[in-house]
Amino acid sequence: MDLRKRVIQALEEGMTQNEVSERFEVSVSAVQDWVKLNREYGSPAKQKRSNESYDKKRGIPDSRLDEFKEYVLSHPELINQEIGDHFGVSDSSIERYLKKVKITRKKRLMAIKSVQKRQERSGKSKSKK
């Protein structure tokens, strides 16, 4: 039987968390974590995450790196966050992929162009006097 399950079983038999931690030589905080997991999921085992941020951590598969490179080169005005949104990865991951496909960009210039383009699309561009 798994240690976590034996810990929960001992607690259900009436032992305190401190007694259980001493008996099984685990920390009290580990016991508390397992109790919480057992209460929330019906099992003291860690559950697999299935939220958006976890899905983003998978990254861009190697089979799509050519597509990534082509997209970045054809959209130089986009900032990393916008590229990340398109590919479903975090904007901080974009830097790694840019290095992987050997693309360097000047952040300031790209950001300025991106902001200018957005302003032009929304009709809020500043007119020069």
pLDDT digit string, tens, across residues 52-91: 444 445 678 878 889 988 998 888 888 888 888 888 888 7
25-52 confidence digits (pLDDT tens): 999 999 999 898 888 888 877 766 554 4
The pLDDT of residue 107:
57
Report if residue 51 sits inside a domain.
no
20 and 72 together in one domain: no
Q: Is residue 25 part of a domain?
A: yes
Domain range for 95 is 60-122
**Which amino acid makes up residue 121?**
R
Q: Specify whether 76 is located in the same domain as 104.
A: yes
Q: Report the C-alpha gap between 47 and 31 in whole angstroms.
A: 16
Residues 6+ apart with CB under 8 A from 86: 71, 78
Number of domains making up the chain: 2
Indicate if 66 and 118 belong to the same structural domain.
yes
Residues 76 and 115 occupy one common structural domain: yes
Residues 75, 112, single domain; the answer is yes
Contact predicate 55/88, CB 8 Å:
yes
Residue 52 domain-assigned (yes or no): no
Q: Are 11 and 17 in contact (CB under 8 A)?
A: yes
Are residue 78 and residue 105 in the same domain, yes or no?
yes
Tokens found for residue 128: 């020069």
50 assigned to some structural domain = no
Same domain, 14 and 65: no
Q: Report pTM.
A: 0.41
